[in-house]
Amino acid sequence: MAHPSLKKTYAKRAETVKHPLSIYLYKLMDLKASNLCLSADVATARELLWIADKVGPSIVVLKTHYDMVSGWDFHPEHGTGARLAALARKHGFLIFEDRKFGDIGNTVELQYTSGSARIIDWAHIANVNMVPGKASVTSLANAAARWLERYPYEVRTSVTVGTPLRDEDTDDEGASGLSPNQTNQKAKDIEGGSNDKASEGRKGSIVSVTTVTQQFESAHSPRFGRGIAEEGEQLFAGVEEPPLERGLLILAQMSSHGNFMNAEYTKACVEAAREHKEFVMGFISQESLNSEDEDDFIHMTPGCQLPPEDDDMAEVKGDGKGQQYNTPQKIIGIAGADIVIVGRGIIKAGDPEHEAERYRSAAWKAYTERVR
């Protein structure tokens, strides 16, 4: 029997799913009438930003491989990741870094949150190859939780130098009129002689006060606080900005010929997802893996290709490098996936914008026919 999620609309699933980013994504899919992800496998940062801007209106997810992009600028405020985030806000899509974390827990935590890329800062979604075991999922979930705890706050530090005062201007306790919350640090430079009786009658000592004040303030919205967003930036209308929570996709099945992801491995992936619903959004898979009543994971499937526009009956073949292709109708309508991932079919097209719209329309049609 088909799982209930296969017949529910994205709008209805947005009302019941628990993960904040899944809620946002389902709403975005319904609003844009799109279930298309672009796999932006290009060679340079300039190409990446160009293609993201061109096809942004047609997609709901942009999939990146930052480590294969020449000229990637790692600056946290105006680098490539930040500029992609600005385009995501402009066109209404989420960024999915296809890093496929696949190492021991401590290593994947550092790869996710540290280093020059700091993937967690600009990518809404990441994914994991669970070959090392469930610990990799747990470690990534813990890293994201710690990042989220720190994110809403930043430390503001100010340094002020007070007007020099004579020591007789201070009160009996030696206070200088500063408020209690400005007493983090005081430095007194005293001129003149000692305070014994021999010094009586001499002019009062000069007291110079330097105050360092630190306070925690709520950080700006991620829409405006991190990245190159500026006043007057174009923002996609219809939905609020994405939530701060990050999401994880588990690589449960692959479209490449001869891969070793067997049924036992896929079963373990589903178990790990159920154990970490607060972080795991769903799967990269070849079919829907929702089986229990409470399951409502998102499924994204690569290997999608349409026949040429002037020959709808042409056979869809592989790329000769192990990649096997299927049409949106098979991926969405029959296998039960939610989002098709398309790369070269759009990127290599003479008119990427037009081709992205062709894929969007075909994938959306397959979805609407499935939920009738």
Q: Is the dihedral of CA 296, 222, 115, 215 positive or negative?
A: negative
Query: What is the mean pLDDT of the segment spanning 164-189?
Result: 45
Mean pLDDT of the chain: 84
Contact assessment for residue 134 and residue 270, using Cβ atoms and an 8 Å cutoff: no
* Residue from 98, 121, 296, 338 carrying the catalytic annotation: 98
Q: Is the model's pLDDT at 314 over the cut of 90? A: no
Q: Are 250 and 127 in contact (CB under 8 A)?
A: yes
Q: CA distances (Å), 331 to each of 30, 33, 150, 267, 302, in order?
A: 18, 17, 39, 20, 9
**351 is known to lie in a ligand binding site:** no
- In order of 68, 125, 356, 359, the CA distances from 99 in angstroms are 11, 10, 24, 25
Mean pLDDT, rounded, for 163-177: 48
Of 8, 12, 54, 100, the catalytic one is 100
The answer on whether 134 is annotated among ligand-binding residues is no
- The larger pLDDT score, comparing residue 349 to residue 183, is at 349
pTM (predicted TM-score): 0.79
| Neighbour-count burial of 184, counting CB atoms closer than 10 A to its CB (0-12 exposed, 13-18 middle, 19+ buried) | exposed
Is 188 known to be catalytic?
A: no
pLDDT tens digits, one per residue of 20-32: 999 999 999 999 9
- In the prediction, which pLDDT does 212 show? 61
State the catalytic residue, choosing from 103, 134, 186, 330.
103
98 as an active site residue: the answer is yes
CA–CA separation, 38 vs 314, rounded Å?
A: 23
Q: Say whether 203 is catalytic.
A: no
User: Is residue 63 marked as binding?
Assistant: yes
> Is 89 one of the annotated binding-site residues?
no
Range among 190-199, 227-236, 254-263, 339-348 with highest mean pLDDT value: 339-348
Selected residue with higher pLDDT from 310 and 85: 85
- Residue 99 CA to residue 291 CA, distance in Å, equals 27
Question: What pLDDT is recorded for position 312?
Answer: 63
| pLDDT tens string 187-241 | 444 344 444 544 455 555 555 566 665 544 444 444 444 444 455 678 898 888 8
Phi, psi of 44 (to 5 degrees): -130, 160
- A 10 A CB-CB count for 362 gives 19
